[in-house]
């Protein structure tokens, strides 16, 4: 018998556009800022999803839209079999108790005394004893010409 994974979160064609308007009294819609455009993903029970991207890439907007703190422009959000867009405010409030966004402050989580290579390889140490072979695989030069093994953490901003 094949074990089927149960989706906890399904996001299909999620879009969130913020309107651009002109005028003070009579506001005219003159365009949109496409903060999130056609995002799809599935998170199964027992899994964790981390959204990673540049500043302004829509990570926070996706999280806020999943919680319906922002109403989506288009798309579907299914949480534990429930269509979140079909819920009224009382049902949504109850469902939100089972959902959470966790923001990570890179300055609080990255050790400035470690190189990028050491940080990336650190999770492998308990399992493999040495992170060097795995860090070498992910080694990539940054804009200053040095490799991640020599780059300080603050170089992340410059890369």
Task: With CA atoms as reference, report the closest residue to 68 among 85, 48, 56, 49.
Answer: 85
Confidence of residue 85 (pLDDT cuts 50, 70, 90): very high
Confidence of residue 136 (pLDDT cuts 50, 70, 90): very low
**In the block, which residue shows the tokens 């899994």?**
47
Predicted local distance difference test score (pLDDT) of residue 33: 93
Domains of the chain (ranges; CATH) run 7-96 (3.40.50.300), 107-157 (no CATH)
Summarize the confidence of residues 34-47 as an average pLDDT: 92
User: Residue 115 pLDDT more than 90?
Assistant: no
Residues whose CB falls within 8 Å of the CB of residue 118, separated by 6 or more in sequence, listed in order: 131, 135, 149
Lowest-confidence pick of 12-26, 47-61, 135-149: 135-149
| % residues pLDDT > 70 (the chain) | 66
Distances (CA, A) of 22 to 18, 28, 29: 13, 5, 7
Alpha helices in the chain (DSSP H): 59-66, 89-96, 106-109, 116-121, 125-128, 132-138
Distances (CA, A) of 25 to 22, 30, 91, 138: 9, 15, 36, 54
Report pTM.
0.63
């Amino acid at each position: 018998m094949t074990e089927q994974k149960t989706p906890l979160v399904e996001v299909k064609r999620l879009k969130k556009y913020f309107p651009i308007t002109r005028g003070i009294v009579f506001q005219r819609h003159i365009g949109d800022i496409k903060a999130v455009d056609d995002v799809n993903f599935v998170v199964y029970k027992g899994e964790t999803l981390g959204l990673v991207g540049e500043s302004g890439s829509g990570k926070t907007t996706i999280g806020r839209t999943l919680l319906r703190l922002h109403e989506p422009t288009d798309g579907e959000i299914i949480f534990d079999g429930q269509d979140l867009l079909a819920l009224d405010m009382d049902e949504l409030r109850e469902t939100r108790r089972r959902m959470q966004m966790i923001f990570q402050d890179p300055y609080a989580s990255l050790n400035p005394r470690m190189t990028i290579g050491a940080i990336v390889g650190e999770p492998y140490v308990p399992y493999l004893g040495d992170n060097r072979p795995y860090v070498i695989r992910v080694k990539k030069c940054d804009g200053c010409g040095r490799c991640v093994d020599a780059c300080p953490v603050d170089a992340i901003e410059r890369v």
